[in-house]
Amino acid sequence: METLASSETISVTSPVSLRQLYSFEADGRDRIDKIFQQARNIQPSIEALTAKERIEYVMKIKDYVIANRESLIDRIVAETGKSRFDAFTSEIFEICDVIEIFKKKALGLLKDQKVPTPLVLMGKKSYVIPQPLGVILVITPWNYPLYQTMIPSIFAFLAGNAVVVKPSEVTPLRGVVEEILEKSGFLKDAIQIVYGGKETGSMLIDSRPDKIHFTGSCATGRKIMEHASRYLIPVDLELGGKDASIVFDDVDIDRTANGILWGAFTTTGQSCTSIERLYVHQSIYDKLLNEIVRLTQQLKTVSSEDDLQKTNVDVGAVTASFQLRIIEEHVRDAIEKGAEILCGGKRIEGTQTFMPTVLVNVNHSMKIMTEETFGPVLPIMPFQTEEEVIHWANDSPYGLGGSVWSKDLKRADRVARAMKTGNVSINSHMITEANPHLPFGGVKESGFGRYKGDFGIWTFCNMKSVLVDKQSSMIEAHWYPFSPTKYKLLNTILDSLFVRSKKWLNVLQTAMQLDKIGRKEKY
Ligand code: ADP
């Protein structure tokens, strides 16, 4: 149901000290109407810009982010509780990297795309024009608040759209994106921010954007799709995951243990593509396990707000209190069913920091192996055969990412192909996301649609097909009037053109006869 005013008060708290950082009233219908009006007004001017001009605007954002990186990181770490290093690599560095790659890539993607025209349409030409859709609504989650707000918005803008973006109420970074856009000299009103929770999000959908790009949980993704279906608004859904990482017996233990550690605990395990379950070949299980536990015990965790200033702290706090309850529930469920904690397993009192945790004796009857945990918990299970581990990896409602570790690249490639996911890294984890040329997205309940890669721009475009006949005098064979002779000749074309050994002479002669008939037989 449409709500006229939002009654939500948003309170933003520090995940480390649990003190309130600030609070505000969520945006309601009046502001949303104004924002949408401004977006509709500015959109034709964005469409009128050349691709180069749009790119110039986006470069201003990059320059501002580079120049102000430390103050931006201050805001990110305060609200997310993630480590400073994580904020630098996965938000600041990533934003700059994606913009730099798309500086060139977008030019090619926004050009008319020529496509071949088949022989039966001889003399004509065909192309696809990537055109904007209008106003794009971007709804973002709390785990990468700056990156997830900026990158889809920038892609949508590059495609010529106006953008309305609603950050998560958990980490809204209130005022930060406005500051970047205003102070960098970005085009006014081209990207606008609306603040609030689900009520505000729902009102935004009622404003009938031309497309919705959503990143968040499966449960909310379902609601958004259902709501959007009322107006037939297309949606891209980037949802959750339960990434499996598979380690074969021929790996370098030291490198693999370090890679797994990062894949499981980066951004406090709150990445949709974090390692959520690890399968290790039986023959190296003990060795790798010992190394992972030894390294995990050395990780420095955020335990005070001061730690958010340090660049030698590894793992941050859990950002959302409701997520911490899920993590604790998954660990409790695993223990009750026979799992054993080798390190971590509890939070630091007075904070939302959950100690990096390694669990063994786990199986697929436990939530920790089947539901999204989204925290710094690594359950490890041994396997015997390739067939068995592929079965386990695919035993999940999710299909976002995964990784395979082996020196045998043929085997790694075979397993990567067998995994039912949208992304797989080989001898690394989550590294596909570091290459903006690669598309990102999931299958199964991890959602659909892709962004980054070529789709990064095209997902926000109306890919308009055009076919041109240069006004020849020809009357097409499939036009009226129909006649038995034309029917017979078209059958001859079918028999000559679509058979394995084509009969070109027949095609030519028949086409000429059809042309003659076309000129003679008219109503
Ligand atoms: P998470 O951030 O944990 O993945 P959600 O999936 O619930 O959490 O939320 C992701 C984003 O979706 C947030 O910006 C949130 O405010 C927004 N949201 C939640 N419910 C709705 C809804 N019914 N309609 C529109 N947006 C919503």
pLDDT tens sequence across 68-112: 999 999 999 999 999 999 999 999 999 999 999 999 999 999 999
Residue 283 Cα to ligand 1 middle (Å): 43
CB distance 224 to ligand 1 below 6 Å: yes
pLDDT for the residue numbered 1 = 35
- Nearest atom (ligand 1) to Cα of 374: 3
From first CA to last CA, the distance across the chain in angstroms is 56
| d(C-alpha 51, C-alpha 158), whole Å | 7
Average model confidence (pLDDT) across the chain:
96
Residue 166 confidence (pLDDT) above 50: yes
Per cent of the chain over pLDDT 70 is: 99
Residue 38 confidence (pLDDT) above 60: yes
pLDDT for the residue numbered 521 = 84
The pairing of strands 235-238 and 211-215 is parallel
CB distance 197 to ligand 1 below 6 Å: yes
- Nearest atom (ligand 1) to Cα of 221: 6
pLDDT for the residue numbered 431 = 96
Residue 200 Cα to ligand 1 middle (Å): 10
Q: How confident is the model at residue 280 (pLDDT cuts 50, 70, 90)?
A: very high
Q: How confident is the model at residue 2 (pLDDT cuts 50, 70, 90)?
A: very low
CA distances from 511 to 162, 415, 520 (A): 48, 51, 14
Which residue's CA is minimally distant from atom 21 of ligand 1?
198
CB distance 194 to ligand 1 below 6 Å: no
CB distance 421 to ligand 1 below 6 Å: no
Q: Which of 79, 194, 198 to mutate to test the pocket of ligand 1 (most atoms within 8 A of CB)?
A: 198
- For 291-349, the pLDDT digits (tens) are 999 999 999 999 999 999 999 999 999 999 999 999 999 999 999 999 999 999 999 99
Residue 506 Cα to ligand 1 middle (Å): 62
Residue 255 confidence (pLDDT) above 70: yes
Q: What is the DSSP string of 277-330?
A: EEEEEGGGHHHHHHHHHHHHHH--B--SGGGGG-SS--B---S-HHHHHHHHHH
Residue 421 confidence (pLDDT) above 90: yes
Is 76 within 8 Å of 145 (Cβ atoms)?
yes
How many CB atoms are closer than 10 A to CB 215?
A: 24
Residue 116 confidence (pLDDT) above 80: yes
Name the residues annotated as catalytic. Answer: 238, 272
Give the range among 50-59, 245-254, 458-467, 498-507 with minimum mean pLDDT: 498-507
Residue 416 Cα to ligand 1 middle (Å): 31
CB distance 240 to ligand 1 below 6 Å: no
CA quadruple 29, 32, 34, 40: dihedral positive or negative?
A: negative
Residue 331 Cα to ligand 1 middle (Å): 25
Which residue's CA is minimally distant from atom 17 of ligand 1?
198
CB distance 233 to ligand 1 below 6 Å: no
Q: How confident is the model at residue 4 (pLDDT cuts 50, 70, 90)?
A: very low
How crowded is the C-beta side of 102, counted as CA atoms within 13 Å?
35
CB distance 198 to ligand 1 below 6 Å: yes
Q: What is the DSSP string of 72-85?
A: HHHHHHHHH---HH
CB distance 447 to ligand 1 below 6 Å: no
Per cent of the chain over pLDDT 90 is: 95
Short-list 277, 194, 208, 236, CA closest to 440: 236
CB distance 202 to ligand 1 below 6 Å: yes
Q: What is the DSSP string of 11-46?
A: EEE-TTT--EEEEEEPP-HHHHHHHHHHHHHHHHHH
Q: What is the mean pLDDT of residues 36-42?
A: 98
Q: What is the mean pLDDT of residues 409-419?
A: 98
CB distance 172 to ligand 1 below 6 Å: no
- Nearest atom (ligand 1) to Cα of 322: 3
| d(C-alpha 180, C-alpha 62), whole Å | 9
| d(C-alpha 358, C-alpha 288), whole Å | 12
Is 329 within 8 Å of 367 (Cβ atoms)?
yes
Q: Which of 220, 225, 371 to mutate to test the pocket of ligand 1 (most atoms within 8 A of CB)?
A: 220
pLDDT for the residue numbered 160 = 98
Residue 456 Cα to ligand 1 middle (Å): 22
pLDDT for the residue numbered 6 = 57
Residue 392 Cα to ligand 1 middle (Å): 30
- For 258-279, the pLDDT digits (tens) are 999 999 999 999 999 999 999 9
